[in-house]
Structure 1
Amino acid sequence: MIPVLIDCDTGIDDALALLYLAALHHEGEVELIGATTTAGNVDVTQTAINTRWVLNQCGLEQIPVVPGQPVPLEVPLTTTPETHG
């Protein structure tokens, strides 16, 4: 089985990616071992909350979610919470 660690900034698009990975995990095609989150669509706290919520809805409460850096290292953070929050 292929181990998968996803790094995401869960808004709409990454929520769909998580749903797909959850389905593959349940089918035994991959082993989702964790998710890390970054700031992007929304701040890093909200991306972690969004990621946890999606995984919980998919019955994957045991998958760890770890927030990463709160801001990019090289450029200013621009978010769109009105769309992805």
Structure 2
Amino acid sequence: MGRYDSKHNDLLLIVQYFSVDEPTVATTRSEIGSGWQRMAVRLKLSRDKDGRFSVEQDDSCLGNPNSISTIDDARRKLRQCEKQPGHR
């Protein structure tokens, strides 16, 4: 987990998961599976008027799914994307 930069109230997370064919719960370590994949997620944080925090996942630059496996790679991808004309 890391932050994008000092200008944004964003968290960058790397999540690790593997796909399953059936929705089953593993009961032993050997049942957990293989073929793990990593993905970077950008979470935008904001504070509402009542003081509560809101969290919104923003996939506009990183995509979903993606194969970004480090925070540094996610930052690079975000910087490249935000330089593109027409980026919001």
Q: Which range, TM-score by smaller chain?
A: under 0.3
- TM-score, normalised by the number of residues in structure 2: 0.21
Name whichever structure is richer in helix by fraction. 1
Name whichever structure is richer in strand by fraction. 2
- TM-score, normalised by the number of residues in structure 1: 0.21
Higher relative contact order (CA 8 A, sep 6+): 1
Q: Radius of gyration: which is bigger?
A: 2
